[in-house]
Amino acid sequence: MSVLDRTKRDERTASEYDERIGPGVIAGYGAVAAGALLLLLFAVLLVAWVTDPRSGGQWMAVLGLSGDVWSLAHGGRLHAPVVGSVVFAPLLVTFAAIALARTAARPVLATGSRRGLWLTTAAFVGGYAVAGVAISALGYLAPATPSLVWVIPGALVVPVLGFVWAVARDTHDGPLRAELSAQYDRIPPVVRKAVRPGLEGLAALTGLGALIVLIAVLTHLSRIGAVGATLDMGLVGLAMLWGGQLAALPNVLAWATTWASGGGLQIGPVDLGIGQVSPGTLPAFPALGAIPEAGPLSPLMLLAPAAVVAIGAAIGWRVTSRTSVLSSVTSKLTQAAVASGIASVTVVLVALVGRAGLGDGAMAYVGPTPLACLLLIVEVMGAALLTTALVHWLRSSH
């Protein structure tokens, strides 16, 4: 067999592969990713329903509750009897959905399909979104009914992130990764160089939020335990309660980071400022026991904005340390702006997406204030730009 004949056979085989792994099959993988999260949620909730002797109703209600949680994890909203609107995105479940989407995308990449990146992504995302709307509709089997329109944006963003993540980490170096790399190379180098300092700054801001939450929890452990002890929920109920609180950990970390900017948080009727906490009655929820009592806070809390500014300065220093001394100040300032924007804007977006609310009463909004979001961006970006300009001037003067 000649080399030309073998090449033609390989091309024919690749063409047959592409026909077999068509858009419909790719969309099926997307639907599988959406269904995998539903099965995971259903298994957990079904175990709780079976093992708790006080649980009532039919197992179909558990299926409906699974659809409700799936909807909330994708930014959906529910309408519960008596309570009204329920807004709460358990972001840890959302991250699990992204990871499952990445896993479901791997077989698509392993086929070596030569279909375009955009067509393949659109098919995968389309299958996930259609299945997601159907899964959310299962919520009508539960007392709290979903609003399907609110699910659609999340059902599009989650599979996009999962699929792009899978392509970027594809170990087969297939054609889709090559196309994604080509698209990434079109981004100006000054912007690409800012990605790593930006991610490092994002990790530092997240660490600051984690430190604040850890301090709040450790200093109010007795109150958190007392609130938990008042809840007569049984062993399984308490496990579900603490599991739900754990699922909201990314939300809380983002809220704590925005609070550190000095703009404060709004937790229903309570305003948690950088210097004091306003009085207000909160529901008996263990995690809320970590909120300090009404009144002035420790003066040490005023150091939190300084920590945010220090992180912004560190981003600016990292930018200058990664660039040549001969690079123009404009290039360095552009990198600092992009890197600090990646860090601060990402935290703000996570905090806003992870907001919560219950009905139209006192607990209608839980999350960062607009001032906190604005201050975080201004402090991080401002410190990064000033540090970059100062370091550039010091190095140029020598």
- pLDDT of the residue at 236: 64
Considering the domain architecture, whether residues 137 and 248 belong to the same structural domain is answered as no
Considering the domain architecture, whether residues 373 and 278 belong to the same structural domain is answered as yes
**Segments in the chain below pLDDT 70:** 1-20, 52-57, 112-114, 232-237, 398
Q: Please write the tens of the pLDDT for every residue from 179-215.
A: 888 888 898 988 899 999 999 999 999 999 999 999 9
Considering the domain architecture, whether residues 177 and 207 belong to the same structural domain is answered as no
What's the pTM?
A: 0.88
Of 254, 271, 245, 267, nearest to 210 by C-alpha is 254
- pLDDT of the residue at 7: 42
- Gap between the Cα atoms of 327 and 325, Å rounded: 6
Of 170, 157, 156, nearest to 105 by C-alpha is 170
CA 189 to chain centroid: 27
Number of domain units in the chain: 2
Of 186, 209, 241, at which residue does a domain stop? 186
- pLDDT of the residue at 5: 47
Considering the domain architecture, whether residues 91 and 209 belong to the same structural domain is answered as no
End-to-end CA distance of the chain: 69
Q: Residues near 47 by Cβ (< 8 Å), separated by ≥ 6?
A: none
For residues 99-130, one letter each, b for 16 or more C-beta atoms within 10 angstroms of the residue's C-beta and e for the rest, the string is bbbbebbeebbebebbbebeebbbbbbbbbbe
Considering the domain architecture, whether residues 24 and 163 belong to the same structural domain is answered as yes
Considering the domain architecture, whether residues 179 and 218 belong to the same structural domain is answered as no
One-letter identity of residue 242: W
- Gap between the Cα atoms of 5 and 14, Å rounded: 14
The percentage of residues in the chain with a pLDDT greater than 70, rounded to a whole number, is: 91
Q: Please write the tens of the pLDDT for every residue from 22-50.
A: 888 899 999 999 999 999 999 988 888 78
- pLDDT of the residue at 180: 87
- pLDDT of the residue at 8: 44
The vertex-365 CA angle with 267 and 82, nearest 5°, equals 115
Considering the domain architecture, whether residues 159 and 292 belong to the same structural domain is answered as no
Task: Give the domain extent around 227.
Answer: 191-396
State how far the alpha carbon of 350 is from the alpha carbons of 8, 73, 310, 368, in Å.
50, 13, 21, 11
Q: Residues near 315 by Cβ (< 8 Å), separated by ≥ 6?
A: 197, 198, 200, 201, 336, 339, 340, 343, 380, 383, 384, 387
Considering the domain architecture, whether residues 299 and 207 belong to the same structural domain is answered as yes
Considering the domain architecture, whether residues 246 and 363 belong to the same structural domain is answered as yes
Of 155, 186, 217, at which residue does a domain stop? 186
Count CB-CB contacts under 10 A for residue 185: 9
Count CB-CB contacts under 10 A for residue 323: 18
Of 186, 219, 253, at which residue does a domain stop? 186
Considering the domain architecture, whether residues 182 and 274 belong to the same structural domain is answered as no
